[in-house]
Amino acid sequence: MQKGGIGYQESKEILIKNIVQFIAPLREKRAKIASDLDYVQGRLEEGGQRAHTRESKKMSEVRERVGLV
């Protein structure tokens, strides 16, 4: 039986280092976006408008199917 080359703690440290390196660009991008409050507000408003449009269409279909129209 052969033993592994690294221990449990060392493998955890390597994993943590790799995860931190992987998510670093994502964190930077998030920080950049979060610092532009006008952009964030605009995106939230756009999303709200799209959701409202979809909701209105769906509710029209529901009302029609249950006989309220």
pLDDT in tens, 9-63: 999 999 999 999 999 999 999 999 999 999 999 999 999 999 999 999 999 999 9
What pLDDT is recorded for position 62?
A: 95
1, pLDDT greater than 70: no
What does DSSP assign to residue 67? T
Q: Distance between CA atoms of 1 and 18, rounded to whole angstroms?
A: 29
Helix (H, G, I), strand (E, B) or coil at 68: coil
What pLDDT is recorded for position 2?
A: 60
Chain-centre distance of CA 27, in angstroms?
Answer: 12
6, pLDDT greater than 90: no
pTM, rounded to two decimals: 0.57
